[in-house]
Amino acid sequence: MSAQLYYYRLLLADGKTKSGLSQFMVERDFSVQLWLERRHTAVVLSLYRFPNWLNSILRFFGNLFSPTVTTEDLSGLLRDLSLMLRSGIPIIEGLRTIAAEVRFGTSLGTASAATLLYEELEGGATVSQAFARHSDIFPEIVCNLADIGNESGTLDKMFMEASLHLERITSMGQNVRRALIYPIFVFAAIIGAAAFWLYYVIPNLSELFKQLHAKMPPLTMAVIRFSEWLSENFVLSIVILLTVIAIPWFIFRYSKSARTQLYSIGHRLPISGILLRTSGMAFLTEHLALLIRAGLDMVQSLKILERATKNEYYKESLGDIRGVIERGERLNVAMRMTERFPPLALRMIAVGEDTGTLDEQLEYLAAEYRQRLDHLIATLSEIIKPAVILLAGVLFIFIVVVLLLPVYDLIRQSMVIPGG
């Protein structure tokens, strides 16, 4: 059941009228009328439910202009909610408090998420429905933990578990981004310098060469012709560049077979294979440990994990594993049959299943793979730096050979004294 948008007009107890828009998670309009009259101590003069198509359009534009809710925002929101619930504050009051604290340092994203949940609960939705209603903001694993906490009366514990989980996932992503900052900055500088040379410096040098009737090497002539073509077809060159970037992105985003093939190739290559296996195992064990500890059965946990992972290599394996487990096999046996998981993980999972400590063994594995990923990223970042510097040096040498040496020859020839 999705939330419905209503326009209402009320007659208040003091004789004044009040109107507004609000969303309600209800099946009948009569329930909205009763809630409004009880909430505002008023009489409903008019009540209009917007059509579903208009509701979708308004929701789209509302999301378009609403503050971005980051993973860090969600982690902070869930942690604050957990603390308030433990202190005895009702969840709806806690959400209203968090939304109001934007003036005291709470991020706009956190306040926005809290406001959305507050409006859903005020509109009659349950905690589970409120989270599920905004699945574009809250990951599926968070929605499932909220559902479990709501059913078992342990919302404070589930919110804290979800917060810690999001913090660990965020930490892994931040480490990767930090490692990529330097090479991205250098590559951006190289591309900017190359564009400056191609569109400004080389055309001017070309004019100089033509005026002096200089004899240029074939490579220099090719670069000059390429630069002239770019200058004459600036719009077309930009369109071609954007097309070259957009087509692979479009294929990767919308073609499942292309993603599967790309991830499969990536797992076979030396450096990318280590990085993908380590990050994939850290992600899988972290999520699976959290879901099992929350009380979900193995089949349901694997279904959630299969939808959550973006690595098609492991997504395909999870579907196969779930099918084997549904036939009565244990997790370690099913994983071993795919031949895609490392022996360390298989052995520790087998121990966990034998001793009834599977969630603990998965936590140990998640911590180990996170540590390996951090070490791998730190090592790769140190390797990338000299490689990027080497690339910049090669580009500089290319410019010197192609353009500056002909200029040097012209200067040397002009300094030759006739008859000397």
**What tens-digit pLDDT sequence spans the chain (420 residues)?**
456 778 888 888 888 888 887 766 666 777 778 878 877 788 888 888 888 777 666 666 655 555 577 888 888 889 999 999 998 998 888 888 888 875 555 677 788 888 888 888 877 778 888 888 777 788 888 888 888 888 888 888 889 988 988 888 888 777 777 767 777 777 788 788 778 877 777 777 777 777 777 677 787 788 888 888 887 887 888 888 889 888 888 888 778 888 888 888 888 888 788 888 888 898 899 888 888 888 888 998 888 888 888 888 888 888 889 999 988 889 999 999 988 898 999 999 999 999 989 999 999 999 999 888 888 888 877 777 787 788 878 877 877 777 777 777 667 666 654 554
Residue with tokens 């828009």: 21
Strands 17-24 and 43-49: unpaired
Continuous segment of H or E residues that includes residue 121: helix 108-122
**Are 296 and 287 within 8 A, CB to CB?**
no
**Are 236 and 265 within 8 A, CB to CB?**
no
Estimate the crossing angle of helix 298-308 against helix 140-152, to 10 degrees.
150
Look up residue 416 and give its DSSP letter. Answer: P
Return the SS3 of 357.
Answer: coil
> Torsions phi, psi of 22, nearest 5?
-160, 155
State CA 351 to chain mean position distance: 34
Give the angle subtended at the CA of 403 by the CAs of 397 and 405, to the nearest 5°.
80
